[in-house]
Structure 1
Amino acid sequence: MEILFNPADLIDRAMRKAALEAGLSAESFDPVVRPADPRFGDYQVNGVLPYAKKAGKNPREVATALLESAVAGNLLDPALMEWSIAGPGFINFTLTPRFSLQWLHRFVSEDDLKSGAGSRLKDRVMVVDYSSPNTAKEMHVGHIRSTVIGECLSRLLSFAGATVTRDNHIGDWGTQFGMLIWAIKRKGYDLESADPDTAVAELEALYKEGHAAYKESTEQATEIREELVKLQNGDAENTRIWNSITEVSWKSFDHIYSQLGIKFDVVLGESFYRDKVDRIYEELEKTGLSEESDGAIVVFHPEHKRFAKQPFLIRKSDGASNYATTDLASVLYRVEEMKADGMLYVVDSRQADHFQQLFLTVEKWFKTAGRVIPQMEHVSFGSVLGENGKPIKTKEGGSVKLKELLAEAVSRSAAIVREKNPDLSAEEIAEVARVVGLGAIRYADLSQNRTSDYLFSWEKMLGFEGNTAPYLLYAVARIHSIFRKAGIEESATFESATDFQTNEERALSRKLLAFPSTIDLVLADLRPHILCTYLFELAGVFSSFYNANKVIVEEEDVRARRLLLCARTLTIMETGLHLLGLETLQRM
């Protein structure tokens, strides 16, 4: 029997073939293999009941026929898995210690795991749209969720075999640039000689001045509009200023992305689509989707309770495009130029209406135009809250700057590391603090159900107890130390390992084999916290195993199988943390 990455696939394959040989496939039998309640086994086949109901047959008889067919066709190996029928027709499967041993010998490294998982989405081309800060503004704490969730999902999709394009759709065009250019000229601000560390903060202050001036007098508002028109018409000086704004902003953004180990494949902001919006207007008009309303071009969706009267604004009454227009243009570009099958938009939940209207419009537009409709999903998320239960702010009431948040995480982490490990060198403390501090920020976010708000707490996220990055990073370093003290490489083959015997050995092997199903669950729901929960539980199961079973013992076969469990726990822990975007450490 072939050992597949996800044992559930092996059961699914056997049940489908058994159904074919038992004459059930004509009724479109679907096994529906899912992880089972541990009290009853590892996996459960749930498809018998709906099939039997539809076919007018006794479900328990159908289950019996399936298993008899599978046994007769040598589709199941009793040495590798056990099975039984429960209730009205559920089929439970329990993997034997021998199966677990073979799986752990088959999937040795992170590359092996990726190769095994790589068939799941191998034909998918996905664009992940995330982070998306506005130029001339500093990234703040509100950007952390989109950035780390988007990067995690990109890694997971790639791990499962998809071709992924990371797209940072920055806000680099629009009416605000008229205000900003006006203020830059008025102040005589020289961007090219500005301090890179402070330039974006200074630009943000200049924008506020321009915005206030716009409201202050009609004369200034007229001047600001003229600056915007000059930019839109390609005026050399205003284009130079705009390019400088974009360049200095990106340097600021990229400093944060580099800290977080994030690289985008493309950075196609709103400005990239400004010469592509006319095609959108033309196509929507041609397909009859758009209409004029008070001088603007809009799309209504009569079948929708709210969007029948709430318009999707495509072009403003003054003829200007907006982010709805550029989002529509980006969908078309991604399908035509990137060959995307699907797109994920990692944007906060406040934009839910926008994306519902966007998806409805694209669906009707593409269908009418005879195009294949891509999979589009709004990966929404809640807010980061302060101790008062409201969106986190500085003491002065402003946004918490992301660069300051990351710096404080590393600083706080350094103090903890210095206290716990005073013998480490300054360089070692700095490196551990960087990995732990940045990992703590990231993990605190990803370990929450993304659709929920969560309370920001330094004490909790930097704690070494509970479901935190420091706890998991320490668990990884602890396993490295086992091999270091034993003088054995983690990559050893452990060929003399025998079947797992103790309750703790079996529990740990079962938890390790649950990794593939966990990856499937995360991809199905696009919720990274499922992986975080699994890794936290795995660390706990490993701790129970290690406390109850001495690893370095005289008996060669016992030592080998326990070291094998340690090595594979290390591989899966590190693989999982890397998928979340965290670096790991060999010493802490």
Structure 2
Amino acid sequence: MSLRDLLSARLGAAFATLAGEPVDPLIQRSAHADFQANGALPLARKVQRPAREVAGEVLAAAELTGLATGEVSGPGFINLTVLPDALDRMVAAMAVDERLGVPMTQDPEPVIVDYSGPNVAKEMHVGHLRSTIIGDCLVRVLRFAGHDVTGISHTGDWGTPFGMLLERLVEIGEAAAAHELSVGDLDGFYKAARLRFDSDPAFADRARRRVVLLQGGDAETLRLWRVLVAESQRYFMAVNEKLGVLLTEADYMGESFYNDRLAEVVHELDGLGLLRPSDGAQCVFPAGFTGRDGGPFPMIVRKRDGGFGYSATDLAAIRYRIKELKGSLILYVVGAPQSRHLRMVFAVAGEAGWLRWPVRAQHVAFGSILGEDGRMLKSRAGRAVKLSELLDEAVSRAAALVAEKSPQLDPQERAEIARAVGVGAVKYADLSTDMVKDYVFDLDRMLAFTGDTAGYLQYTHARVCSILRKAGGFTGTPSIVDPAERALALELLAFPDAVQEVADEFQPHKLTGHLRGLAVAFTAFWDACPVLRASPPVRESRLVLCDLTARTLRHGLDLLGIHAPQRM
């Protein structure tokens, strides 16, 4: 149990006794004490008593012996100061815990995280960045919390565009197509196919026939399609390796996977009386969704020509994830513009009886990445920025900075650090932003070793590692006296709360904010408290804090998918 949770439990029991029911003490960090409990104010309004009086009764009844002292302040706040012995004990316990005080969940469940989702024969661009790294962070945190997590990349590998793509492959030959795709020129391949489709009627006719062959299961067409998918997947994995995410080939599940399940979806929805004809199409009209005219808004399940659109595929996917994968929590890490569509998918799944408590589905929405002009980030040529090129640019700039600051490092180590710093900068800038907000992509700011950046956290970690190397080991126990030591200890003990908040709320910026606060607290500690030159008992105690800081920064950054070099 974290320090905040322990205080909450002690005060919560006193609140419950007074109220006759559970009450959240509303404990948070405070500038006036170590913590502040604000629960007396809403409870006072409910019982119609003065808040200071309620707070005083709660404080008098709370069992805080050996843990903290408290006082009532202001209109009814309860200020709490942790006792020195309690702080020492909790830091000592954290120091010998491999999990750094983060408990395993008492209620593990099967969680499915849908993220990344690139399209076959199209390059991953900056628009895929947020989904991929936010999803990767959530997979890491939820697994660490003890849940059984399945990551799925819902790739676009089916549909009418594949007619022209396959005809392009046939036209230039498999060897040439494989080479073109293997060097990462997926956009070039796609654009060439589109140009041929738009300019050559004969090619367009062959492409349309190829779609029919593909959907009809023609063996040769399916073989060619698999070549296209395999080459694209090799490219996806190369980008994922650069980005340092956990996605494997087994995590890619294309739209084609659900083809055999689409008819089942239609049959089941029809049997439940949810399907209604509309302009020749088969639709579901989920409650609460209206069009511009104020009338019911349809989700098209089967088109008038008998084909299936992406809505049918998404319904088949959520049905499969619930019924066959047995997921009880399904997270869709998808851009905010898809909010209405996903709400309709969830609504239809609910009306069909698939999505019922305790099974939940949640859209983890995120905003856009903007250029310095405040518009959607584009290349100078006006195209979407390729993710691979963006990462290469970040690593290249980081390499120049590392070479300038640490010329004594050997070339291989400089290259490894540059990759960690460059990729880490891109990831951290994204994860440290409240997801629903847009943010401006600025590599110069991202790569800085000061401010709210990955570089600052990585540099702090490297600095602590240097101290520990010079110390050559330590065997002491914490004895926290100096205010800067105390501030650092409280930040360290808050790590479990930050991890839990991400696991509960799916907001990575809660963890980045904590790690930033920890790095700032260590910097203040380092400035105020000599470590290696201190007297032996003090030195040993401060080395415990240093070691915990390094481990917490390293582990916290790892949960974000960011590497923490030991030297910089």
Q: TM-score, normalised by structure 1?
A: 0.89
Does residue 1:182 correspond to 2:167, yes or no?
A: yes
Residue 137 of structure 1: which of 105, 122, 127 is its match?
A: 122
Residue identity opposite 2:334 in structure 1? V
| Residue equivalent to 2:339 | 352
Deviation at 1:439, TM superposition (A): 1.0
Q: Cα gap change, 1:317/1:209 in structure 2, threshold over 3 Å: closer, same or farther?
A: farther
Out of 269-278 and 160-169, give the one that drifted further: 160-169
Does residue 1:549 correspond to 2:519, yes or no?
A: no
Does residue 1:494 correspond to 2:494, yes or no?
A: no
Q: Would you say the 8 A contact 1:8–1:33 is kept in 2? A: no
| Residue equivalent to 1:95 | 82
| Residue equivalent to 2:311 | 324
Does residue 1:116 correspond to 2:102, yes or no?
A: yes
Out of 79-88 and 226-235, give the one that drifted further: 79-88
Deviation at 1:248, TM superposition (A): 0.6
Residue identity opposite 1:359 in structure 2? F
Determine helix, strand or coil for the equivalent of 2:257: helix
Find the aligned partners of 1:291 and 1:423 in 2 and give their Cα distance.
72
Find the aligned partners of 1:387 and 1:545 in 2 and give their Cα distance.
36
Q: Would you say the 8 A contact 1:477–1:586 is kept in 2? A: yes
| Residue equivalent to 2:564 | 584
| Residue equivalent to 1:448 | 433
Find the aligned partners of 1:414 and 1:110 in 2 and give their Cα distance.
35
Find the aligned partners of 1:587 and 1:290 in 2 and give their Cα distance.
62
Q: TM-score, normalised by structure 2?
A: 0.92
- Deviation sequence 1:178-221 (CA, Å, 0-9, x none): 121122223334367526632x52x5434334434544576554
Residue identity opposite 1:34 in structure 2? I
Deviation at 1:148, TM superposition (A): 0.7
Q: Would you say the 8 A contact 1:349–1:381 is kept in 2? A: yes
Q: Give runs of aligned pairs for residues 342-491 of structure 1, distance below 5 A.
A: 342-366=329-353, 371-372=356-357, 374-488=359-473
Determine helix, strand or coil for the equivalent of 1:84: strand
Deviation at 1:132, TM superposition (A): 0.5
Residue identity opposite 2:208 in structure 1? R
Find the aligned partners of 2:295 and 2:22 in 1 and give their Cα distance.
41
- Deviation sequence 1:1-60 (CA, Å, 0-9, x none): xxx2x223223333444456x4744xx2223433142214414151x4444544556655
The number of aligned residues is 564
| Residue equivalent to 1:238 | 221
Residue identity opposite 1:543 in structure 2? T
Find the aligned partners of 1:511 and 1:361 in 2 and give their Cα distance.
45
Q: Would you say the 8 A contact 2:322–2:355 is kept in 1? A: no
Find the aligned partners of 2:97 and 2:396 in 1 and give their Cα distance.
31
Q: Would you say the 8 A contact 1:297–1:314 is kept in 2? A: yes
Deviation at 1:287, TM superposition (A): 2.1
Determine helix, strand or coil for the equivalent of 2:361: strand
Determine helix, strand or coil for the equivalent of 2:362: strand
Find the aligned partners of 2:208 and 2:15 in 1 and give their Cα distance.
70
Determine helix, strand or coil for the equivalent of 1:133: coil
Find the aligned partners of 1:341 and 1:191 in 2 and give their Cα distance.
45
Residue identity opposite 2:323 in structure 1? E
Deviation at 1:66, TM superposition (A): 3.8
Find the aligned partners of 2:390 and 2:464 in 1 and give their Cα distance.
30
| Residue equivalent to 1:254 | 237
Residue 111 of structure 2: which of 126, 147, 164 is its match?
A: 126
Does residue 1:85 correspond to 2:78, yes or no?
A: no
Find the aligned partners of 2:23 and 2:45 in 1 and give their Cα distance.
13
| Residue equivalent to 1:9 | 5
* Structure 2: gaps (5+ residues): none
Out of 573-582 and 317-326, give the one that drifted further: 317-326
Q: Would you say the 8 A contact 1:105–1:493 is kept in 2? A: no
Deviation at 1:321, TM superposition (A): 1.4
Find the aligned partners of 1:234 and 1:409 in 2 and give their Cα distance.
44
Find the aligned partners of 2:337 and 2:534 in 1 and give their Cα distance.
61
- Deviation sequence 1:489-532 (CA, Å, 0-9, x none): xxx5522x32x222211111122222223233334442222222
* Structure 1: gaps (5+ residues): none
Q: Cα gap change, 1:109/1:346 in structure 2, threshold over 3 Å: closer, same or farther?
A: farther
Root-mean-square deviation (CA, aligned residues, Å) is 2.5
Residue 226 of structure 1: which of 209, 232, 243 is its match?
A: 209
Find the aligned partners of 1:183 and 1:420 in 2 and give their Cα distance.
49
Q: Cα gap change, 1:354/1:189 in structure 2, threshold over 3 Å: closer, same or farther?
A: same
Residue 29 of structure 1: which of 10, 22, 31 is its match?
A: 22
Residue identity opposite 1:119 in structure 2? T
Does residue 1:527 correspond to 2:514, yes or no?
A: no
Determine helix, strand or coil for the equivalent of 1:474: helix
Q: Would you say the 8 A contact 1:191–1:245 is kept in 2? A: no
Q: Would you say the 8 A contact 1:29–1:51 is kept in 2? A: no
Deviation at 1:117, TM superposition (A): 2.8
Q: Cα gap change, 1:363/1:17 in structure 2, threshold over 3 Å: closer, same or farther?
A: same
Find the aligned partners of 1:278 and 1:84 in 2 and give their Cα distance.
66
Residue identity opposite 1:448 in structure 2? T
Find the aligned partners of 2:201 and 2:281 in 1 and give their Cα distance.
23
Q: Cα gap change, 1:291/1:222 in structure 2, threshold over 3 Å: closer, same or farther?
A: farther
Q: Would you say the 8 A contact 1:292–1:298 is kept in 2? A: yes
- Deviation sequence 1:80-130 (CA, Å, 0-9, x none): 2112234554433322232222111111267322x633226x423211111
Find the aligned partners of 1:535 and 1:327 in 2 and give their Cα distance.
37
Q: Would you say the 8 A contact 1:461–1:468 is kept in 2? A: yes
Find the aligned partners of 1:374 and 1:328 in 2 and give their Cα distance.
15
Q: What percent of counterpart residues are identical? A: 39
Does residue 1:295 correspond to 2:280, yes or no?
A: yes
Does residue 1:558 correspond to 2:506, yes or no?
A: no
- Deviation sequence 1:429-476 (CA, Å, 0-9, x none): 111111111111111211222222221112111112211112211110
Find the aligned partners of 2:347 and 2:35 in 1 and give their Cα distance.
40
Q: Would you say the 8 A contact 1:300–1:310 is kept in 2? A: yes
Find the aligned partners of 1:276 and 1:586 in 2 and give their Cα distance.
50
Q: Cα gap change, 1:433/1:293 in structure 2, threshold over 3 Å: closer, same or farther?
A: same
